Amino acid sequence: MSQVGTGAPPSLPVAQPSTRTGATTPVAAVELRGLEKRFATQVAVYPLDLTVAAGEFLTLLGPSGCGKTTLLRMIAGLEVPSGGRVHVFGQDITDRPPNKRPLNLVFQRATLFPHLNVADNIAFGPKLRRASREEVSQKQEAMLELVDLAGYGSRRVSELSGGQAQRVALARALVNKPRVLLLDEPLSALDLAVRRQLQRKLKEIHRTLGTTFVYVTHDQEEALSMSDRVAVMRGGRIQQLGTPKEIYQGPCSGFVARFLGLGNVLDSTVIAVHPDELELGAGALRVVVERIPSPTSPGDRFSIVVRPDMIELRPSSGAAVSGANTLSGTVSDVRFGGSVVHYSIAGLERDWQVSLPAGEDRNYQVGSVVDLSWPRSAGVVMAPE
């Protein structure tokens, strides 16, 4: 059976078993109930519910302006919600100011205190709590070790590179042993190489410490590679919530599919309903997909995404192509992505994205005519947009 995403605003999720401890923990790390944020001119976040399990790495993914940062800041206490409650490990912290919440936030730009050096930046939190001098220096050392910046304690903030600054910001947040760590696009301002390095570091720290991470990003690759679960947001609402695999293989809407980088989204209408498959028409193309659980009838409209990694390419035989799940097209672009080759093929008045593993690639040149075909299981039915 092919996947069908819900497409509707999220329903109340069941408590998730913690993947860390392997046992079902009844108390969620973060629970948002009806949390919303309205401004004079528009709504930033519509009332939403969300549960983050203890020890989970959950990412809020979406384009800029979708409300993900506002949502995170409401959890941190830097924005006052227009409605709803925030619970952290069972405690209602909605009315607490940010300095009294068991959370810490890593900002998009490191936001280190310029008048303090690295070690003093890290020690900011502990010093506020009047930690002893030995305790403070102990923690400083431990944190610098954790983020691979041992020996950088006496450096000035202005001497740090972007990546180093973010690591200090991370250390500064983690030294307070927050129960939940919030991260607001911390890597978006960094170079690719540094970003990859820090992504690995973040995952490592997450594994080591077991702290719950709530992460915000607009980079779908980052979200899919790092998270336990991803919440795709758009226009102040969560469109889909699930594991990376779930949402990649079963996007619930054209928006989610496109945002995840899945091309090949078609508007289609049901032509015929068969016992084990569904026949749809998208313009001149006939598409056959596996039957979906919900009842459908001819004339119903759906969005379909054809997964680029499941399309086969063959050199065109020259004969006209007929049949379902197949068409002819001309290669318009080739991009090498390391272990994968991405083709853009123009066919039937649209651009098709096809990704072939490098080993199976037959080196099609731009301009060559090819036949595309895919199995029934390659098509994912989504709600119409």
Partner 1 sequence: MRRRRIGALELYVGAMFIVMFFPLVVLVLFSFVKSGDMRFPITGFTLSWYREVFSDSSVLDGILNSLEVGIFAGLIVTCIVTPAVLLLSRGRLRWAGGVAAVLIAPAALPGIVIGVSLLNLFGDLRMTLSLVTVTVGHVIYCIPFFYLILNARLKNFDRHLEEAAMDLGAGPWQRFRRLVLPLTAPAILGATMVVLALSWDEFQITFFTIGDRSTLPLVIWSRARRVIDPSVNAIGTLMIAGSLLIVLLTRRLIVESYS
Partner 2 sequence: MSLAASLAAEAPARGRRRRPYALLALLPVGAVICLGFVVPLAMLVVQSFHAPHGFGLLPSSAFSVSSYTQVLSSSVYRTLALNTLEIAGFGTLLTTVMTFPVAYFIRFRLKRAQNLALLLTLVLLFAGYIVKVYTWRVILGNYGVLNSILTSLGVIHHPLGILLFSKLAVFIVVTYLSLPVAILILVGALQNADPALVESARDLGAGGVRAVVSVLVPVAMPGIVASLAYGFVAIAGDYVTPQLVGGPSGQMIGVSVYDQFVNVGNPPGGSALTLLMLLVFVVVYGLLRLLERRFDTR
177 phi/psi in degrees, rounded to 5: 45, 60
Binding string, residues 100-129; x marks residues near partner 1 by CB under 8 A: x--xxx-x-x-x-xxx--------xx--xx
80 binds, among partner 1, partner 2, none (CB under 5 to 8 A by kind): partner 2
User: Which residue shows structure tokens 């890597």?
Assistant: 187
| C-alpha neighbours within 13 Å on the C-beta side of residue 230 | 27
Distance CA 222, CA 235 (A): 21
Can you say whether residue 151 is alpha, beta or left, with left for phi > 0 and alpha for psi between -120 and 50 degrees? left
What is the nearest approach in angstroms of partner 2 to the Cβ of residue 99?
Answer: 10
Query: Is residue 46 involved in binding partner 1 (CB under 8 A)?
Result: no
Which C-beta is closer to partner 2: that of 75 or that of 262? 75
Binding residue (CB under 8 A) for partner 2 from 12, 22, 23, 64: 64
Which C-beta is closer to partner 1: that of 80 or that of 128? 128
Q: Which two tokens stand for residue 158?
A: 């202005």
40 binds, among partner 2, partner 1, none (CB under 5 to 8 A by kind): partner 2
Which C-beta is closer to partner 1: that of 214 or that of 354? 214
Q: Considering only residues 54 through 83, tell me which ones interact with partner 1, judged by CB under 8 A.
A: 76-78
Query: Is residue 97 involved in binding partner 1 (CB under 8 A)?
Result: yes
Q: Which stretch binds partner 2 (CB under 8 A): 62-70, 204-212, 318-326, 345-353?
A: 62-70
* Closest alpha carbon to 379 in 313, 284, 281, 290: 290
Distance CA 170, CA 179 (A): 14
- The count of other CB atoms within 10 Å of the CB of residue 158 is 8
Q: Are 5 and 292 in contact (CB under 8 A)?
A: no
Which C-beta is closer to partner 2: that of 235 or that of 281? 235
Sequence-ordered list of residues with C-beta below 8 angstroms from that of 192, at least 6 positions apart, any chain: none
Q: Are 94 and 86 in contact (CB under 8 A)?
A: yes
Binding string, residues 143-172; x marks residues near partner 1 by CB under 8 A: -----------------------------x
Interface contacts to partner 1, rule CB under 8 A: 76-78, 97-100, 103-105, 107, 109, 111, 113-115, 124-125, 128-129, 172-173, 176
Interface contacts to partner 2, rule CB under 8 A: 39-42, 44, 64-65, 67, 70, 77-80, 97-98
